[in-house]
A and B are shown apart, each in its own frame.
Chain A
Amino acid sequence: MKLTLEPILSAKKVNAYFGAFQAIKDVSLDVAPHSVTALIGPSGCGKSTFLRTLNRLHEEIPGARFEGEVLLEGEDIYARGMDPVQVRRKIGMVFQKPNPFPSLSIFENVVVGLTLAGVRNRHLLEETAESALKNAALWDEVKDKLKAPGTSLSGGQQQRLCIARALAVKPPVILMDEPTSALDPISTARIEELLGEMKKEVTVIIVTHNMQQAARCSDHTAFFLLGELVEHARSPTLFSNPQDRRTEQYITGRFG
């Protein structure tokens, strides 16, 4: 499909392997800036693996291999001499299970990306923490206990803390790997609400096994099956008028 804007992130002929097993086959995908793209598909279809190739986290798994190109703002993050550490500072990630650092306070958790990057200015850290927590809709709940451990919060709050942590380094792109699958419906709704707000600041790519979630809060949806990208379209189009028979079968609940 044709995007109206220049893509901020562009995957070209991505192949990913675990040892001899090929998990991703020739996937190409363009992502428009300030949009939410949902990756859907049955378990084991490679949507999470694909997501993890986008910030070079895939290669941290022993035996994992990658082929292809991923352009971030026109620059290949897999180019020779490209430092994965720098890549991950520009492409943030929120994981399936909330994973704040148990040894750090709420405040320290939010700004840990900045302190890793060497920021020591207390004023700047406090300012960033406040705005990131506000953007993650957590500020009002934690502003009086910033020194409490991050793990003292509820599951939903912890996940919003992780979102704040990712937002705090102001990356152009944030990847989310089933961020609500471990949460209750109310916490899930809050995070879905947040997605709409977040795209003012960042581009979001979210893996979800929940088709309603994809339909509710994404602009574009990509359907993965057996490591291949079957269909990629505007979400309303994909869900109302799928072009591929397999997409239709999946979204109508024939399998999955």
Chain B
Amino acid sequence: MPKKEIREEDLRKVVLESGIEVKPIYRPEDIKDLDYERDIGDPGEFPFTRGIHKFMYRYRPWTMRQYSGFGTPEDTNSRFKFLIEHGQNALNVAFDLPTQNGLDSDNPLAKWEVGRVGMAVDTLKDMEIAFDEIPIDKISTSLTINATAPIILAMYFVVAEKRGVDLKDIRATPQNDILKEFIGRGAWIFPVEPSVKLVCDIIEFCAKNAPKVYPVSVCGYHIRESGATPAQEIGYAFSIAETYIDKVLERGLKVDEFVPRFSFNFDIFGNMFEQIAKLRAARRLWARIIRDKYGAKNPESMKMKMIAGGGGAGLTFEQPENNIVRGAYYALVSALSGTQTMALCTFDEAYTIPSAKASLLALRTMQILMEETGVCDTVDPLAGSYYIEWLTNEMEKKIVGVMEEVEKWGGMMHAVEHGYVQSKIARQAYEMQKKIQSGEIVKVGVNKYRMEEEEREIELYDLDMNAVQRQIRRLKEVKNNRDNLKVKESLDELRKAIKRDENLMPYIMEAVRHYATVGEITQVLKDEYGVFKEPSIL
């Protein structure tokens, strides 16, 4: 009896999150219009589809930058040293929620939260302790801080200054992307307009004084974590980046004077080919936008630099060890996407802030990939794949579509002020969760191969209440020992500078030098700018 032939139409339908239908087989005709020079190019050459450097990881593998920080600056300082000792070559600092929200550790609104999800910082003193014996003239440091980024970056600069390190040699990346905070993550303070002004103050100040600093890391990551599709992740991030560019251009800077130091933070979870195509498409589109729309001449402006790896929303609470395996795949996908820097979520992140053991395991995951698998030997090994190149094209079209929608909304600032983006992705998150609950989207250990009685041995982080008391005590001591007249004067100068609408960075640095607190400086900004009022979106 002849076997019944299986036809393509009989197969299950596959549609990616970004809304692209995928065939089981791709052939040369699927990419027949692709032009190598125009659409792909060699690595390090326009449009940088294959990567922003000629030899990529063969010359220099990605930077490893696990997110860390908890408790007091002393605790964080020892975790930094532990990670550096084990081969990590850059830092990624987590700050506690009071610091992110501009509250001092002794503020009643900060109770319960001091040092809980990151390091507590009240004054310059804390940053001096956190970076004690850390070679800040050599190591590059990411500061995961947004609304209070001007204050924390000012502190980092003053620490360098006091150690005799020239600002021109400082390598740091404050996250400094407030627009995404309004969409996901929620650590905003001021209304949209002054918030964006502060972002641009840092960009402008660094362009003129600290040229090795990446003054903004535009985060598609948190937007994706909040429910955006991969195409929206890139599209919204690019619309945000364009907003900052437009605002800095209004100050009279030229595109090639600051865009080379833009960087991005992207998410990795879900369909792996969709993520790889997403980032290849993003590099190509960014290069074209910067060259053609903004008229950049310097290729450095056109190179989309990024950190990727994360993938928190892909991890599960159930069977937490499975997250180790997910982390390894996300690392591979990040490498195949050509990231400059990698940071993985640790397997215990669905429960707690990372334990030392879990952080080390994440670091080892990246090291095994880098040292044992050959992934660093050849640049963009997936280039030329019928599927990958086809999908890269499709993703680019989707991303452009997302950016056009933002334009129709009246731009990103208007869109977040009115909650358009927030509303759209909240609904998507709900639909996605329904699909996970129904099993339509498979999550191993959650809706398939679930174990009702499973052992979950996770070492939980216990907040050390003594450490909290020590932090509050230190704040008191610093306040008692500083020159309060100088603090008052510097804060008054800051207030005047706000009224004159000047770049505030020099004034904030001056206040920081006199040990003004995060809370005191934020209060001046709040007095003058007010606070953001969340739109009702449900």
Same complex for A and B? Answer no
